[in-house]
Amino acid sequence: MKFKKIILYVTLFLLLYPSITVANTNETPNINSRAAIVLDRATKKILYGKNENEVRKMASTTKIMTAIVVLENSNLYDTVTISKNAALTGGSTLGIKEGDKITVCDLLYGLLLKSGNDTAVALAEHVGGSIEGFAEIMNKKSQELGLINTHFVTPHGLDNDNHFTTAYELALLTDYALNNQTFLNFVSTKNYAVTINGTQKPINNTNELLGNLNGVYGVKTGFTNGANRCLVTACKRDNLDIICVVLGADTKNFRTQDSTKLIEYTYKTYQMLDVENIINEAFSKWKQDNLSSFNISKAISNNLNPEIKNRNFKYYPVKKEDINNIKTSIECEYNLVSPLESGSKIGTIFVNIDNTSVLNYDIVNTNKIEKKNCFNYTIEFLSKFFYYLTICY
């Protein structure tokens, strides 16, 4: 057993060593995979892309969608009786047989750790009634998520010309799935024992990076002859949380190396900028210097209350080399016409890198400002009239 562990560690080192040496430079990695992406989960910004919008087969990374559909449409503690159709499914399997009884929960472990095609069919039949019925639910979910270049035919991902996605849309799907805590628990599990007919069977996660690369917490491997080697990886270090997808690698070694290269490159190249703090400081100073400069014609009051609208994240990934080139600017219309509804846009705040805008937010007025009417003008006239009378007499 000890000798086997030594062999495993040596093998992993040999797999990862070329990636680590390349990742020690600031150069964009050269990878074998046909398509790839690194996506920042907080902002959905693409930090690296290679043919990320190219339609490709996805192999067992399909099971990310399979798992989400099952989790959203089934009960984990339901018991499933395995059909002949599920038991005879080829490729990677958990090894369940016709008539076996196993819970949905343990089928999901078999799906996401062992990458069982037989468990995928069993779950599809349980939730959708058939593979075709389940595929309809998968595609409906895909449409809900706005995945316009993704289409599912099977729950396992065995090669089919009508079964495809892109690296970008697979990353978006994975990001959605990881927001489900139960899914996250499954894909971050290294070892588990499923129970089939009351008997336990130990299984291991096929994800070679889980537990072996700093920060990796999932997600899913894949392989077919048509898709080649695929790997979706989630990794978090400090406050930079990313999804790395590689599709179409020639070998398992290449998909491991490519994923490691891209992950190490990302963390060496990017850091999260506290953009909320930068914007707050700039906006506070701007208000202090400019709030009295507004003129609202025909308004009952000049009482503006500017606020920044839709600040949807605190941090933003920026290349480390650009940190000292971050600047903010504000463009605003200072001459306004009443009435102004609450929420009316009056300007824009920009976050710029080397004079190029990377972020911008609307500045809105949160106070409703009404237009003067005849009564207001009459009162204003009388006030001025009596004021002048007082002065004259």
Q: Catalytic amino acids?
A: 60, 63, 115
Q: How far apart are CA 363 and CA 340, in angstroms?
A: 13
Q: How far apart are CA 204 and CA 202, in angstroms?
A: 7
Q: What is the 3-state secondary structure (H, E, C) of 184-252?
A: HHHHCCCEEEEEECCEEEEEECCCCCCCCCCCEEEEEEEEECCCEEEEEEEEEECCEEEEEEEEEECCH
Torsion of Cα atoms, 230 then 181 then 112 then 44, to 10°: -10
For 46, list phi and psi in degrees, rounded to 5: -80, 120
∠220-222-223 over CA atoms, to 5°? 170
∠114-120-124 over CA atoms, to 5°? 160
Q: How far apart are CA 141 and CA 127, in angstroms?
A: 14
- In the numeric block, which tokens belong to residue 364? 């809105």
Q: How far apart are the first and last CA of the chain?
A: 109
Instruction: Quote the crossing angle between the two packed helices 131-144 and 117-128, to the nearest 10°.
Output: 80
Q: How far apart are CA 115 and CA 126, in angstroms?
A: 18
- Single out the residue of 231, 246, 365 nearest to residue 294, CA to CA: 365
- Single out the residue of 194, 211, 198 nearest to residue 111, CA to CA: 194
Find out whether 133 and 142 touch, Cβ atoms under 8 Å.
no
Alpha helices in the chain (DSSP H): 2-23, 63-73, 84-87, 104-112, 117-128, 131-144, 167-178, 181-187, 252-269, 275-290, 374-392
**DSSP for residue 146:** T
Phi-psi region of 380 (alpha: psi -120 to 50; beta: other; left: phi over 0): alpha
